[in-house]
Structure 1
């Protein structure tokens, strides 16, 4: 039965992500908001809700390894698999503003997390710092948006515009599908994994992190297929930033999270991956299929490492 519910959850994720992309893109064109801004905020937050639910619940329940490893694993998955699969499906040009602003923010926040865990725990002070960083980041998005004059929609953009009530309805239904589907996938995949005798840390870095990142993966691949490359890359990077600042921020406020030596190693790896993505995008404006394949291979190597250790 668990396997059937798992498939139902995946179906809900796919359909929910499809509706969410349509509604978000429509609102972006309607109000002259760049699609990458939508991806870095609304879509990123919506697709990060499963991680929030898992990490806060785990933190309150005292499952510290699951609370932190879920976020770390999700960010690694977002960077290597979500962006990699999007590039394999449809190579896209990288917006320079995302590179100069959002990828640098991603590096900064990841290294702030690394510094925060050196005392082997995350407490309410760290939570407040993360939420302050999130506020500053969102303010910078708003300022950058106001600094650039909106461009007139072309005919293709106009064709994607739907009435605002319909767009909002699609977003709400999409979020509901994403959250419900993500929870079904995580709950049942975790139960299946535990019957195989996996540790909590390994479950958090693999089954749970992949399960909670399925919304990002599906949403970004749907966006890439529809030509919304701004949503595709923006959603992945925005989710990484949200995972650390918002999810760990709220989870740390809820309860102190203990950090293990393995968590510290994984965060160092996450820092290396964040820097790797930045320099990759600096070398060329195009995310090619070859780069996507390279990122997927890197994730496979990481997955083998965490299972082996």
Structure 2
């Protein structure tokens, strides 16, 4: 039964991503908003729904390690394997705004998270805890990011030319239906894949901790992976990269912020290596993006290799 759920889940992910990218890119064209901004907001927040669900439920159940590990693991997976595989399929064009503002904002979110969880080092406390006040700080940063995105959207719309009458191939209702229906299929398909893969892994004797660090983090990032690859194949590379950058910002600021406001999260010492690795590969992404304003196949291979090395390390570590 687990194998059947796995197959159905992958089918929903692939077809859902196809509809989602088609609908969201059509909405961007109709609203005269750049595909990058749609990727940073609608697509990014939508594909991060599994991370939000897992981390918030984990916080409610008192599983701080799952809540934090899921966010950090998903962000690492997004930057390395998702961007890497997408770039290998179709080199990603990077806008100057992304290099100057969006990727640095991702780094800022990661640094803010690192500072807020370093209670032992900074305040000489007995435990590292992401408190409710820390969560409110993260949510404040998230509101600043949203304000920036909406301002950019407003300026881009004002400068864009009005679409010709009848230029839209699809109706508003159909675009919205494609986007919402595709997102629902992505989320439900991702859930089936995580459940099916977890059952199979446990049947082979893998520990629950290892399953959580690998399959759960990877599984909740499958929507980003499938959506970005589909966007790249459809030559919508702005949506592909915007999806990753937006998802990572959303994961740290909104997901962790909300989870810690619901219930303070005690932070384990092992997670600090993962946070530092997340920041390192974010810097690497910025460096690669500045190379001719594109992330090519060679850079993609380096990112994929970085994830494989990281995966081997956490398997040995745990």
**Displacement after TM superposition at 1:152 (Å):** 3.2
CA RMSD after TM alignment:
1.7
Structure-1 residue corresponding to 2:261: 253
Which residue among 243, 263, 288 is the counterpart of 2:271?
263
Q: Is 2:30–2:163's contact at 8 Å kept on the other side of the alignment?
A: no
The correspondence of residues 115-134 of structure 1 with structure 2, limited to 5 A, is 115-119=115-119, 120-134=128-142
The correspondence of residues 214-229 of structure 1 with structure 2, limited to 5 A, is 214-229=222-237
The DSSP-based 3-state class of the residue aligned with 1:261 is coil
Structure-1 residue corresponding to 2:83: 83
**Displacement after TM superposition at 1:199 (Å):** 4.2
TM-score of the superposed pair, with normalisation by structure 2: 0.92
Distance in 2, Cα, partners of 1:127 & 1:196: 38
Q: Is 1:66–1:203's contact at 8 Å kept on the other side of the alignment?
A: no
Distance in 1, Cα, partners of 2:167 & 2:301: 33
Q: What stretches of structure 1 of length at least 5 have no aligned partner?
A: none
Q: Is 1:72–1:205's contact at 8 Å kept on the other side of the alignment?
A: no
**Displacement after TM superposition at 1:200 (Å):** 4.4
Aligned length: 307
Structure-1 residue corresponding to 2:159: 150
Q: What stretches of structure 2 of length at least 5 have no aligned partner?
A: 120-127
TM-score of the superposed pair, with normalisation by structure 1: 0.95
Cα deviation 1:186-233 (Å, max 9, x = unaligned)? 222223333444444432321001101000000000000111111000
Structure-2 residue corresponding to 1:207: 215
Cα deviation 1:239-284 (Å, max 9, x = unaligned)? 0001111111111122121111111111111111111111221233
Structure-1 residue corresponding to 2:308: 300
Q: Which moved more, 1:219-228 or 1:193-202?
A: 193-202
Which residue among 244, 247, 267 is the counterpart of 2:252?
244
The DSSP-based 3-state class of the residue aligned with 2:13 is helix
Question: Per the alignment, do residues 62 and 131 of structure 1 end up closer, same or farther by CA in structure 2, a change over 3 Å counting?
Answer: same
